[in-house]
Structure 1
């Protein structure tokens, strides 16, 4: 079994990452455009420039904000599948991504990390158990007023560095490799405009996972729910016996949700949830938005029925009001597809082991672009990128974990070539 050497390699992932996170690429769930925010293309255009500077000719940024690129095969074998590596350029709408100031905490000593621009933001070791494995490593954080953007700019930087390695080390044999950088993953639309035929890959990997050495081959199944409540509006001075306030009806529905289970803050493992994410309106009309999560479709349907029944019970007390509940599929559990293509997972686990790590398969309480890509015909598990505490001001990533992710990506390409 050949071992790829990185002993003399000058990694570029960290320098790239520090540049990328300072570009605001926050997506917008309320937008109807593609991409949801035009500023995401600022990073996409930079990636195109850097890929071309590496010597790649087949690089494209399309009108929807997707970057496609090809690393040509350098093997004589004709049976090697085309592999795709994918990450998303957008950051979460939950916390601002404007004005990110990345900080490297060199040779971290194991103490809590207080972020300087907001001293109330403290990354406490007791709250982040994976930090215990990082003593002596270099930890990158934000400054306390923004997220960092490791989700998923760590993955973007790692793919770019792995591409650089493969192009400068022709002795590492591999088949044709496609790179894909997507917008809008954080708002559930990361694959909406992907051209699978143009991508032309047989199997894929998102680089968007958490802990070192992990491979995620199972995700939530996910739906969104939008409830529009139509109340009865009238002048409040003459409202007795007439007014049915849509905001109060919405509030009753939220209050009726259980407090001890069925929510993100009270569930773990394979437990799903019903999670309100947005409320807007006035006394005449109110709109509630939810995300529903479970590991199978039966669980999704049960939770949606539960929500509909709660809504119906409340509306029974408001005879003049009505509501419409619209369910929209977001993504499904990738495991259903991946189980039909065991080599996709097996080869990745081997690549992780070749990188000197203990390989661990995990289920993820979330989703990646790989969830949808798998059902679009590109079986696509998720490899760790090293990102932690994502969607928060306490987000962090380890320099050493990012470098290991680069090694894993390179080794994945090599394992596929060897086993074909």
Structure 2
């Protein structure tokens, strides 16, 4: 059993999608002869809390906690609500307030690459001592965002000549909200410089989508591998489908994720298809912006909408498993074509039909084609989208709304952990650089 040091920021009781990836890797690593050691902040500022995830942490897991000074803690004095949104990575780009503009400018220009940069130096000091005393650990993994954690990995690799994997759950300078940080030219150059340094210093880079893999390969000569997010089979439970024709979306719907063509299509079907208005139930689970609510009201859909707000991971799974149709909505921006949200894989496990509304050339397209789990539409495919939902409604009425059977086993968390463990094994067999 080989011990590996994993440096991450998001860890239970943190909620939201950022915590899932490494919680699941750690959960299954021991099945593949890997003993994880976690390094996490002692007093983090987690904008979302989900206590239920604590039960998934393996017993006897060695966890090293070190204090962190959180700038967001002081930013809350200006606006607690807006600070919580920005620290979550939720940036409503349409109508930023003066306070939001100030916070975004500080976030992008004063804290490079991010607000956790102050944790780098003290973490390097603590871990240098720990690794010097635990020489059986010769490999470390950093996962970002926050991408400042990769700077910890880069420094430790240089000082101690360890093997290092840099895991990117999201892109860095090509992430969709990067331009919203109101960066100066010098700040932008510094972000790009650090990104390239990290990519070139790591022994191996792991990303979650083919587009990010392609982008990073243009910046580094080091190998870049794709390991997507996935679903956990241990969470499967018997469910009863909603009696209504429920269209369920899990996650935030902000001003920049507002599928007006969907609202228009649903409104037209209410007027044109007998019984559709009474049967339709639109469940939007998560944060829903005022703009989205106003658009829904404009198309006379308010009576069909259920807004549960933010729920725990287990509750979200329950909503999606009982759905008649699952909605996957991504922003209509070129930068989001590389984003494969973790909920897509949770959706796959639910085995309910997926309707995805995505930008052109989205990586989501390839997974839906491979698994035959649903259909994807761009923001110009209004006619095709309407036809698809009408057809699904007819199958719902006849009791035949289901997904074509196809293998999704490769996206289980256990299978993906096996793939990550294999990369670790291959890395250890190489000559140190």
- TM bin (shorter chain): under 0.3
Greater helix proportion: 2
Q: Could you state the TM-score of these two structures normalised by the residue count of structure 2?
A: 0.27
Greater strand proportion: 1
Larger radius of gyration: 1
Does 1 or 2 have the higher relative contact order (CA < 8 Å, sep 6+)? 1
